[in-house]
Chains A and B, each alone.
Chain A
Amino acid sequence: MPHIELPEPDVGVLRRLPILIEGLKSRVGQDLLIVDEDGRRAYETDAFTSYRRVPMLVVLPRTTEEVSKILKYCHENDVKVIPRGAGTSLCGGSLPTEDAIVLCISKMNRVIEIDYANRLARLEAGITNLQITAQVAAEGFFYAPDPSSQLACTLAGNLAMNSGGAHCLKYGVTTHNILGVKMVLIDGTVVEIGGSALERNGYDLLSLVIGSEGQLGVITEATVKLVPSPEGARPMMIGFRSPEAAGSCVSAIIAAGIIPVAIEYMDHAAIEVCEAFAGAGYPLDVEALLIVEVEGSESEIGILLGRIAEIAARFDPKTVQISADADQSARIWAGRKAAFGAIGRISDYLCMDGTIPLAQLPHALTRISQICAEYGLKVANIFHAGDGNLHPLILYDANSPEEANNAEMAGEAILKLCVELGGCLTGEHGVGIEKRELMTTQFSATDLTVQMRIKTVFDPTWRLNPAKVFPLAFSDVMRAGNAASTPEAA
């Protein structure tokens, strides 16, 4: 796809590559470096696969101290650094450039401490999301943020993108579940932000760091909250004749004072594909499907699902099916969790990630269909209905440059629509390169300047993950390494 611009590599840096390699070798040793092209090519893209750039070097540190040495060296030698976890970013958040070093913390995946009495765990940030829960499940706890990529994505990536998943409605996103981080600044300084206590001291720097997409530092450790596992959880499926009915039902559930642990929405196209993949028992004769899950004891679950069924009845549902057992519950969620993969079997797709106020749902779905039709493309809609986080999957043929371009244009139009409707550009995937130039639709020049000044405080020469998040034209002076000398920074 042609129109997301990537900055030209700095030829001067590339010429210095042999010296840089020797310099890093002398500081952290040969075994942390990936120098050969085949090895580096494995890091040329993330889950936003449309764009690829082979980095000039990859480093795989094992300790915070090594991260510090690497960053200090890069800072002193004016080298850009792209932090990376598992590379599951859907917005190009960890896409390298040819003149950058990829610093991948996947080897830093140890559990440092689990403290059940105080309900927290301290972990190296390269651990996968699901591994955290695996470590504490036997004691009746879990780590709440659950992005769909949780099997593979790292805690570092969750922190970078402030990502969440289906259960955010009740448990919040990553930022709600983190007590503190150990982070390395670009000059190699190791800082501890927050800690083990619930409250932070001084300015809430943790809020600025979480979701900063690798712009402020490299997080190497984090202290996370452990949440008691519910006694039980069970989903129900409600099939509707129209998106409007489904949307109204969601509002009515919440208006009744019920906060389910998740409310997921799938449109007809998504239902068909997911059912074919997972055999979850999804109804195929409906236009919209809600998967509503509640937690509690068996009797509480029964009462709550019964009440939700009563509420749903007001919207003339075509099917109402309460999961009968654990096996059926697992299949229902397997279909939803595998949705992106299932659709990937039938087509290439662009997965969008806008958020809208819930009341705008029917209008948004209608417009999304229209927008995609205008570009001659099909779309499947899956989203977290409880919090309005849309995931339109725009289907296209990646071998057709025209379709690829159209898909990207349709995606932009959908994200602009989300902002127009009072929502935002991204609910969990982040901005990366994908939505970088769209930031001006959500933010004024002043809003962006305020954010960029914060970046400059942490990273004065803009060497950490530059050319992401902020529109290129807005950040060109800073990316040239002159941020500290601009009047804006004064």
Chain B
Amino acid sequence: MSELFRPAAEWELQSMIARLAREKRGIEVVGHGALRNTGRVASSDVVLTTSGLKGVTLYEPTELVMSARSGTPVYEIESVLAARGQMLAFEPVDLGPTTGAPGGALSIGGVFATNFSGSRRISVGSARDNLLGVRAVNGRGELFKSGGRVMKNVAGLDVARGLTGSWGTLAVMTEVTFKVAPLPQTMQTLAFVGLPDDLAIEALSVAMATPLEVSGAVHLPKNCAERLKVAKLKHVGQSLTLLRLETFSTSIDERKEKLKAALKVYGNPIELDPEETFSLWSEFRTLSVMPFSTDTSLWRISTLPTKAPEIVAAIQKFMDAVAFYDWSGALVWLEVPAAADAGAADVRRAVAVRGGHATLIRAEPEIRSTVDVFEPLKPEIERLTRGIKSAFDPNGLLNRGRMYADF
């Protein structure tokens, strides 16, 4: 078992990394472990956890801004926000339950390190878009900051957002500052029944083109819809195309009727009340329709909405895949039978010819050690990527191999 470092303060984390950098020891960076079963299997000498760096350090509800130490659990942050009628607008996704890691262990640092955002991303932007500033320690043991606490800040390079999606390979975030948003007064969902994938994506695109501020646009084919837990939908027995509205109580009915009118050619939807709506969309935050199983692997595909059904259909020619579409089709979660390469060859080929990229989220460690977990980079982008890695972490100590095999 690797040696475990658990700094309790930023200065302690910096001094630890500085020492490890001098000793050139590889460091696996983790929060509370929610993401340990994702990404490539990193090689390291020590484990450094940010779980000791906890707590909200700044909260200004009237400025819609919060700062928190990176190891603060997301549920704690959401609890503080909810008490003031606010929320993390981008609905962070907790991969723990779907990857066999603990649920509820997601840290706010992990959210920004992976930039995994939930269904509301389609209307409010990603975690990255909501990030305002960071404090972090790079692989040289240097403490630096970028951004700040104000929403408009264009002083210098946007290093803070540049760290999002880097999976702890460039720097260990010690504190993050981000936008928060008011909780909607109320919410409702329209569920259209029985649409084939391509027609469903068309319906979602029509909805997203309206000015009605649809805040969730998901399609579940029949074999995935059957996995839903919400009582009103679980026994429908057909595909479900879901649209969420969140707004003021005085507006919700007007918007709902307009949305139904705009989509009337797609049928009469089932309507979900606020409580049902909350339960339904919470399921997507933990990917409960893609439950953990060693018999299957899970992919996350980012593409154009109109291309998504084609990609899924192409993959289904080769394997028994179950998909659901989020972000009006711009994001596909795809479950495939476990295989030697987790279906990588077929998945990547289907994506490559239609545009986008695929990330292997769940697979046995041996597979994640041998298959490209992240989409391989084009040569000129790989050159820049290696340069950036080297600029932050010249000895390749932080999460080495977590994203790419040799750096």
Contacts and interface: CB of A to CB of B under 8 A. Distances in A.
Nearest to B185: A257
Contacts of B389: 203
Given A172-B129, A203-B165, A203-B166, 18 more contacts: A119-B205, A195-B355, A197-B303, A202-B381, A203-B388, A208-B157, A208-B162, A211-B157, A215-B157, A254-B182, A257-B185, A295-B211, A300-B251, A388-B63, A447-B145, A450-B391, A451-B159, A457-B391
A168 B151 contact: yes
B332 to A, nearest CB: 11
Contacts of A202: 165, 374-375, 377, 381, 385, 403
Contacts of B237: none
A456 interface: yes
A207 interface: yes
Contact of A422 (B128, B149, B302, B403): B149
Most A CB within 10 A of own CB, among B122, B374, B384: B384
B129 to A, nearest CB: 5
13 contacts: A117-B202, A161-B154, A191-B384, A196-B355, A198-B330, A201-B377, A202-B385, A230-B211, A257-B185, A259-B181, A425-B155, A430-B154, A458-B384
Given A117-B305, A197-B357, A303 B250 contact: yes
B387 A207 contact: no
A31 to B, nearest CB: 30
Interface of B: 60-65, 85, 115, 121-122, 125-126, 128-129, 138, 142-146, 148-166, 170, 181-183, 185, 202, 205, 208-211, 248, 250-251, 254, 258, 302-306, 327, 330-331, 355-357, 374-375, 377-378, 380-381, 384-385, 387-392, 394, 403
Contacts of B115: 199, 204
B166 A456 contact: no
Nearest to A427: B152
Contacts of B303: 197
A257 B183 contact: yes
Nearest to B351: A197
Given A208-B157, A424-B155, A118 B165 contact: no
Interface string A424-455: 11111111000100010011101111110111
B392 A450 contact: yes
Contacts of B306: 117-118
A427 B154 contact: yes
Given A355-B150, A427-B152, A430-B154, A197 B159 contact: no
Nearest to B152: A427
A427 B151 CA distance: 8
A203 B386 CA distance: 10
Contact of B148 (A169, A192, A422): A422
Contact of A426 (B126, B154, B166, B388): B154
A4 interface: no
A204 B161 contact: yes
Q: Top 4 nearest A-B pairs by Cβ distance?
A: A427-B152, A207-B161, A257-B182, A457-B387
B155 A199 contact: no
A72 to B, nearest CB: 14
A357 B330 contact: no
Contact of A454 (B152, B162, B331, B377): B162
A290 interface: no
Contact of B182 (A118, A175, A259, A456): A259
Contacts of A427: 150, 152-154
Contact of A228 (B165, B181, B208): B208
Given A300-B250, A358-B62, A189 B380 contact: yes
Contacts of B156: 431, 439, 442-443, 447-448, 451, 469
Given A172-B129, A446-B143, A457-B391, A388 B150 contact: yes
A297 B205 contact: no
A133 B156 CA distance: 28
Contacts of B330: 118, 197-199
B151 A203 contact: no
A25 B210 CA distance: 50
Nearest to A196: B304
A296 B356 CA distance: 33
A295 B63 CA distance: 20
Given A300-B251, A455-B157, A469-B156, A357 B149 contact: yes
Given A168-B152, A197-B303, A454-B391, A208 B205 contact: no
A228 B162 contact: no
A54 interface: no
Given A119-B208, A252-B62, A303 B384 contact: no
B144 A446 contact: yes
A475 to B, nearest CB: 12
B63 A359 contact: yes
A175 B355 contact: no
A454 B388 contact: yes
Contact of A424 (B153, B185, B304, B388): B153
A387 interface: yes
B62 A255 contact: yes
B95 to A, nearest CB: 15
Contacts of A355: 150-153
Contact of B211 (A168, A228, A426, A435): A228
Contacts of A384: 152
A454 B208 CA distance: 37
A208 B385 contact: no
Interface in A386-435: 387-389, 422-431, 435
A63 interface: no
A251 interface: yes
Contacts of B209: 116, 119, 140-141, 228
Nearest to B355: A196
B381 A191 contact: yes
A423 B150 contact: yes
A210 interface: yes
A490 interface: yes
Contacts of B159: 208, 450-451, 454
Interface string A351-383: 000011111000000000000000000000000
A176 to B, nearest CB: 5
B111 to A, nearest CB: 14
Contact of A450 (B138, B154, B166, B327): B138
Contacts of A192: 378, 381
A201 B254 contact: no
Contact of B155 (A176, A439, A444): A439
A222 to B, nearest CB: 16
A435 B304 contact: no
A263 interface: no
Contacts of A212: 157-158
Interface string A213-231: 0010000000000001111
A204 B384 contact: no
Contacts of B121: 198
A254 B63 contact: yes
Nearest to A201: B357
A162 B381 CA distance: 22
Given A207-B158, A255-B62, A450-B392, A198 B302 contact: yes
Contacts of B164: 204, 207
A475 B254 CA distance: 58
Q: Which of B138, B153, B305 has the most CB of A within 10 A?
A: B153
A193 B251 CA distance: 40
A457 B388 contact: yes
B151 A162 contact: no
A107 interface: no
A205 B63 contact: no
A314 interface: no
B357 A210 contact: no
Nearest to B179: A172
A164 interface: yes
Contacts of B387: 457-458
Given A259-B181, A358-B62, A451-B156, A387 B151 contact: yes
A118 B148 CA distance: 33
